[in-house]
Amino acid sequence: MVPFTLVIIFVLLYLAFRRFDEALLIMVTVPFALIGGFWLLWLLGYNMSIATAVGFIALSGVAAEFGVVMLLYLKQALEKKQALGEPMSVATVKETMMEGAVLRVRPIAMTVAVILAGLVPIMWSTGTGAG
């Protein structure tokens, strides 16, 4: 189910951006998120189950969402610099990427905090229905 979900996410990204390279750039972030999820499962001694598979599907979506939002803000910052007529040197592009990324750090951190606040109690629960 997870590979099928990744294909669907890629197709939706391609349809949204109409560029293969941008969709691929966002999809590169998803395996890193999934690897981190598998490491956490291993560290906590949890088994793979239907509940964890659903969690991995959600993790893929959140990782892709963060990638989309970050890419949009970085492109917007770059277009703003180009509209000002500044020459695009390596230093200018680095500065622009830092500006665009800094705008998204707090919202992404808040989103992660809310997700963790909602899911940590589920992760440590015991009894019927617990992972």
Condensed to tens digits (0 to 9), the pLDDT of residues 5-60 reads 778 878 988 998 889 999 999 988 888 999 999 998 899 888 888 878 888 888 88
Chain Cα centroid distance, residue 97: 17
User: Model pTM?
Assistant: 0.74
* Tokens 């391609």, residue located: 14
Burial letters 45-60, b for 16+ CB under 10 A, else e: eeeeeeebeebbbebb
